[in-house]
Amino acid sequence: MNNYTKHTLSNGLELITVPLPHVDSVTVMVMVGAGSRYETKSTNGIAHFLEHMTFKGSQKRPSSLAISSEIDAIGGEFNAFTGKDHTGFYIKARAKHTPLLIDVLGDMILHPLLKPEEIEREKGVIIEEINMYEDTPMRHIGDVYENLLYGDTPLGWDTAGKAEIIRKITRQDFVNYINDLYKPNNAIIVVAGRVHSSQFVVEKLIEKTLSDWKKGVTKQYIKQSDKQDKGALKINYKKTEQAHIALGVRAYSLDHPKKYALSILSAILGGGMSSRLFIEVRERRGLAYYVHADASQDWLIMFMQMHHNIRMWVISLFRQELM
């Protein structure tokens, strides 16, 4: 286990420093407690949309090209991602560029320009991303399963949103979302790699760069019930040669003491090429290309694909392995 330090800065931002002296690079990541579970019906997809917009121009770098060319010029890589309860941004480059990495990330997150014309242009990009996911059953099956679990709630909605909602999102919607959630006391910054040996130096660098990020009250999400008293089924029809199946059961939360046993069960069922489902479904019967299990986010779930004519038979195999 690598040594690391945690410290809360004066504005409430939590800093985690992970020294890795054997590498010559540094990764700076900012995680904000702002994901799709904080959205409303009229703003579903805005967390992911905002992630895109932070790359479209900031106060110091007024265009996407200005941002990307500065990182490309030092051989760095950068990206972002959006989940149900968080949005993450990161940049990786040689350690000597650490001040620049912090400055670029801070500028993108704190001062996105949100130009109306860029918002309108990016709507097309987001909608095509939504179409791509919906046209990829292997990717889309997870969204369908979450909708079955959580129904018509923020946790049950697609993180990318719906095209008809994306088209209506305005600049003011972004401003409201940022004001509600993008606070330093609702974020974590991680600096990992060949960081300065003095924690004090890293802290001062971040304090100086992010000095205008002020703490404040953040919006709370509505807790969802996980109660279920009977089985549930959801079928999402699309004309394809294959059927993709997700079969799951509610299980332990991430802080439950039995979560490790659940992880072992997941590995036994579908964690590798020697797992029970892989051997039974693929190796012995040749019914599918991919089959695997996963234990996370309060459930144990098994995924696979097969020709649509044999789906009921394969489901019965799933059940046999669980009994």
48-63 pLDDT per residue, tens: 999 999 999 999 999 9
What global pTM score does this model have?
Answer: 0.92
Residue 1 has pLDDT above 60, yes or no: no
Whether 241 is catalytic: no
223 Cβ contact partners less than 8 Å away, ≥ 6 residues apart = none
Mean pLDDT of the chain: 92
pLDDT band with cut points at 50, 70 and 90 for residue 197 = low
- Determine the Cα–Cα distance for residues 96 and 117; give it in Å rounded to an integer: 36
Residue 300 DSSP SS3: strand
Mean pLDDT over 217-237 rounds to 85
The neighbour count for residue 126, using CB atoms within 10 Å, is: 20
Structural domains of the chain sorted by starting position, each given as residue range(s) with its CATH number in brackets: 5-209 (3.30.830.10), 242-322 (3.30.830.10)
DSSP 153: S
Residue 305 has pLDDT above 90, yes or no: no
Task: Report the range of poorest mean pLDDT among 121-130, 175-184, 280-289.
Answer: 280-289
pLDDT band with cut points at 50, 70 and 90 for residue 110 = very high
* 300 exposure class (CB count in 10 Å sphere: 0-12, 13-18, 19+): buried
Query: Which ranges in 33-152 belong to alpha helices (H)?
Result: 46-53, 64-72, 98-110, 116-134, 137-150
- Determine the Cα–Cα distance for residues 165 and 147; give it in Å rounded to an integer: 17
Say which of 39, 51, 118, 122 is annotated catalytic: 51
Mean pLDDT over 182-206 rounds to 88
User: Any bridge partners for residue 300, and if so which?
Assistant: 249, 295
pLDDT at 19: 92
The neighbour count for residue 192, using CB atoms within 10 Å, is: 20
